[in-house]
Every structure is written in C-alpha cells, then in structure tokens.
Amino acid sequence: MSRPLARPSLHGWRLFALLALAVLVATALALAAQPQWVEALRSAIRVTARTSFAIFPATFLASSLASLMPSPATRALLRERRFLGLSFAFSHFVHGVLILVYVKLFPESFWHGRSVAANIPGSVGYVFILLLTLTSFPAAVKALGARSWKLLHGTGTWVLAAIFCLSFYKRIPLNPWYAVGLALIASAIVIKLVAKLAGHKRRSALALSSR
C-alpha cells in the first residue's frame, strides 16, 4: 500500500518564523552596513519596503494562481496564504517602526521636502494591514462572517496593491529601477483581473448548463 505524501515541514507558523527571521536579518545587515545612523535608518527602511513587496504578490495572487494554474505548488501557495500575509504584515511592521525611529531622531531630515498629504496613502495602507492582520485568525472569520471577511480582505489587498503602484510610480524620477517594481505589481493586477474574469465565465457557463 502506498503511503500518502508527507506534508512539507516548512508551512504554517514555521514558514512565518523563517520569513520573519529573514526580514530581521536583512534589517540588521542594512543597519550595520552604514556608519551613520541617519543613513543606516534610510537603508533599513528601503530594505524592509523591498522585503514587504517581495512577500506581497504571493499573498495577492495565491487564489488567482490556484484558479488559473491548478497544481500542487499553487494549491500549497493558497494553503499558506494566511501565513504569507502575516509575514508581509510583520515586514511592514518593522518598516513602520524604523520610520517612527527615523522621525523621532531626525525629524528635519524626514520632513524635508515632504508634506503631510504625502503620508496619507501609507497611513491608509497601515490601517488596512492592521485590519487584515487582526482578522486573519479563525475566531475573527467566524465573528465577521464569511461574506464580510471576504469583502474586507479583498478590498484590503486591492488597496495595498494600488498603494504599491502609487509608491513606485512617484519614485521613478528618483531611480528608473522603480519602473521594474511598477511593472511587476501591474502584472500582478492583470493576472488577478484575468482570474476574476475566468471565474466569472466559468460560473456563467455552469449556470447555463444547469438550466
């Protein structure tokens, strides 16, 4: 009799712990690489923004990839979506702490050429990250109800994707490499929309065939 395949050991909270450790190590290396605190904080802020962006597409596209390209890999990605989302939230929590430290220690440097309005998208993003994190556990899903939970998480991930787009777009004049990030998140949005359209067509076809 053949044995069932063992579930990979790197899943759930172990996956979260590994990704959180990677974020902390990257942050520590960025801080240690710069001799001056102001530059060290700027470098670490950039690094944690990148670790957050590296994790976000996997969370954003998990259900879409499982729908468009069903396979053991995409099903595993969908299964780990909650822990990937929590890892993204942790990375952005570290990012936010670094920003607060930067503002506290070097307020003149932080506010130079920056308006209060420029911080609105990021603040909105943090509100949604907090809401998504707090509702990422079974008790919250039960309390909200499946429909409300799905609406909140669907809206939240789309808002975060839009904020990433805006952030990359604004920074292209500073560094053309930001166009790569913009292209990546725009591609993720296209994939998400294609999956939604495909799902709608499948449901319509099933409705017609059941008549």
**Per-residue model confidence (pLDDT) at position 77:** 95
For residue 101 the two structure tokens come to 């430290």
Indicate the domain borders of the chain. 14-204
**pLDDT-derived band at 204, boundaries 50, 70, 90:** confident
- Mean pLDDT score across all residues of the chain: 91
C-alpha atoms less than 13 angstroms from C-alpha of 80 in its C-beta half-sphere: 23
SS3 content of the chain, % helix, strand, coil (to 5): 85, 0, 15
Residue among 111, 59, 109 at smallest CA distance from 85? 59
**pLDDT-derived band at 206, boundaries 50, 70, 90:** confident
Dihedral sign for Cα atoms in the order 68, 187, 134, 83: positive
**Which amino acid belongs to residue 97?**
V
Lowest mean pLDDT among 2-16, 129-143, 145-159: 2-16
Residue 44 has pLDDT above 90, yes or no: yes
**pLDDT-derived band at 68, boundaries 50, 70, 90:** very high
**Per-residue model confidence (pLDDT) at position 7:** 53
For 74-87, letters b (16+ CB in 10 Å) and e give: beebbebbbbbbbb
Mean pLDDT of 160-173: 95
The pLDDT > 90 percentage for the chain reads 80
**Per-residue model confidence (pLDDT) at position 1:** 44
Lowest mean pLDDT among 2-11, 122-131, 152-161: 2-11
Residue 116 has pLDDT above 90, yes or no: no
